């Protein structure tokens, strides 16, 4: 008959052995990962600017990792359907995806049933977007000054198309309107492509979007009144930023890549290294230049700090712009 001391010792040894086996199993998994293709969730439609940039990154990162990374488009709810799918996925490194920075806003507005401060593993911030305000070439608004002056004289009469309530283009325009002291009539569409057609078709006065307007500005169909970044874009260097025009508003909505919470740290390191190389690759730089997407790379830990800082800023902005009320209207 075992003494209580011997029984306790055997239990401890058994627990230690089980722990050692589990640790060994995790180490082997991380060493051998990836052993099969990886799925990348893109929360935007195929062919759009975000989709194009993410596909290029996945091609390069897959080559570095030695496994293909297949892009799966899960669209809807201003990117939140794909974001929720990513947060809910198994954290085994075989499901990763793009995390729109708007998760910081929509999680607080209740559209995303996940908390970006704790439900994702952050791998890399990649690039920004060039947002701008454009009008048809036939528009009486020749400059941003004309646009603001008319809007001040006719509150609520000037309409603008955007890619969805609560998204970067909608919130960016409302922030600009607040700073400019004007009231605009926002017209939501299901995405940037539809918003663009609304303006080209003459149904809306102006377009607030990322660079979907670029080829139409170059062809003379649209006139670009302002861009929204920290600096002027090289492609349209004669067009001022909102800040240069006297409105302290900057919107770049950087794209980022992440995984579900609970990802093995060794696997996360492999993914971080692969996407760091992918962002620096000539292939990605070529696509970023074509899309007017400034490189805004941050490694995973710094990217997570950035997301937390934006979350705090969004808390203030939601109240300031009364976004909860706008979401219901």
Answer yes or no: do 122 and 267 share one domain: yes
Tokens of 50: 């975000």
| Most distant CA pair in the chain, distance | 97
**Does residue 13 sit within a domain?**
no
What is the rounded CA–CA span in Å between residue 264 and residue 267?
Answer: 5
Measured in Å, how far apart are the chain's first and last C-alpha atoms? 75
How many other β-carbons are positioned within 10 Å of the β-carbon of residue 89? 16
Question: Total domain count for the chain?
Answer: 2
pLDDT in tens, the chain (329 residues): 556 666 677 775 666 665 555 556 566 767 899 999 999 999 988 888 889 999 999 999 999 999 999 999 999 888 899 999 999 999 999 999 999 999 999 999 999 999 999 999 999 999 988 999 999 999 999 999 999 999 999 999 999 999 888 888 999 999 999 999 999 999 998 778 889 999 999 999 999 998 889 999 999 999 999 999 988 988 899 999 999 999 999 998 899 999 999 999 999 999 999 999 999 999 999 999 888 888 999 999 999 999 999 999 999 989 888 888 877 76
C-beta separation of 167 from 102 below 8 A? yes
pTM flag (> 0.85): no
- Residue 45 main-chain phi, psi, to 5 deg: -65, 150
The enclosing domain of 290 has a CATH number of 3.40.190.150
* Distance, CA of 71 to CA of 213 (rounded, Å): 25
pLDDT digits (tens, 9 = 90+) for 81-132: 999 999 999 999 999 999 999 999 999 999 999 999 999 999 999 998 899 9
| Inside any domain, residue 136 | yes
Residue 260 and residue 312 in one domain:
yes
- CB atoms closer than 10 angstroms to residue 171: 23
CA distance 116 to 4: 48
- State the CATH number of the domain containing residue 213: 3.40.190.10
SS3 44: coil
54 contacts: CB under 8 Å, gap ≥ 6: 40, 42, 71, 98, 255, 257
| Orientation of helix 168-180 relative to helix 300-320, angle to 10° | 50
Q: Is residue 162 part of a domain?
A: yes
Among residues 180, 202, 236, which one ends one of the domains? 236
Domain range for 204 is: 132-236
Tell me whether residue 29 is in a domain.
Answer: no
Looking at residue 153, what is its pLDDT?
98
Strands 159-162 and 69-73, by their bridges, are unpaired
Q: Are residues 179 and 324 in the same domain?
A: no
Q: Distance of CA 287 to CAs 170, 216, 300, 322, Å?
A: 25, 18, 22, 36
- Are 60 and 151 found together in one domain? no
The CB-side HSE value for 151 (13 A sphere, CA atoms) comes to 26
Structural domain includes residue 89? yes
Select from 174, 204, 236 the last residue of a domain.
236
Considering 189, 209, 236, which residue would you say is the last residue of a domain? 236
User: Which H or E run includes 187?
Assistant: strand 185-188
Based on the fold, state whether residues 125 and 258 are members of the same structural domain: yes
Which one-letter DSSP state was computed for residue 241?
A: B
Residue 267, domain member (yes or no): yes
């Amino acid at each position: 008959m075992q003494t209580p001391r011997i029984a306790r010792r055997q239990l401890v040894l058994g627990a230690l052995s089980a722990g050692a086996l589990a640790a060994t199993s995790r180490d082997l998994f991380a060493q051998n990962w990836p052993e099969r293709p990886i799925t990348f969730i893109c929360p935007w439609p195929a062919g759009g600017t975000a989709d194009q940039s993410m596909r290029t990154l996945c091609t390069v990162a897959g080559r570095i990792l030695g496994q293909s990374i297949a892009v799966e488009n899960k669209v809807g709810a201003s990117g939140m359907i794909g974001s929720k799918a990513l947060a809910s996925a198994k954290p085994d490194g075989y499901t990763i995806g793009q995390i729109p920075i708007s998760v910081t806003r929509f999680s607080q507005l209740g559209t995303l049933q996940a908390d970006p401060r704790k439900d994702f593993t952050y791998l890399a911030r990649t690039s920004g977007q060039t947002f701008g305000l454009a009008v048809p070439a036939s528009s009486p608004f020749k400059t941003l000054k004309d646009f603001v002056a008319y809007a001040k004289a006719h509150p609520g009469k000037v309409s603008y198309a955007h890619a969805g309530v609560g998204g970067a283009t909608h919130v960016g325009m409302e922030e600009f309107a607040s700073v400019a002291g004007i009231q605009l009539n926002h017209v939501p569409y299901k995405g940037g492509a539809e918003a663009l057609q609304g303006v080209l078709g003459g149904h809306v006065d102006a377009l607030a979007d990322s660079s979907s307007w670029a080829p139409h500005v170059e062809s003379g169909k649209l006139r670009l009144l302002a861009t929204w970044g920290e600096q002027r874009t090289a492609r349209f260097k004669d067009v001022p930023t909102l800040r240069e025009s006297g409105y302290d508003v900057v919107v770049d909505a950087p794209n980022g890549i992440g995984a579900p919470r609970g990802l093995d740290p060794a696997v996360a390191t492999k993914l971080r290294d692969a996407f760091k190389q992918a962002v620096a690759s000539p292939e990605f730089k070529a696509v970023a230049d074509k899309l007017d997407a400034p490189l805004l790379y941050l490694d995973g830990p710094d990217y997570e700090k950035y997301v937390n800082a934006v979350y705090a800023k969004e808390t203030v902005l939601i109240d300031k712009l009364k976004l909860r009320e706008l979401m219901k209207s």
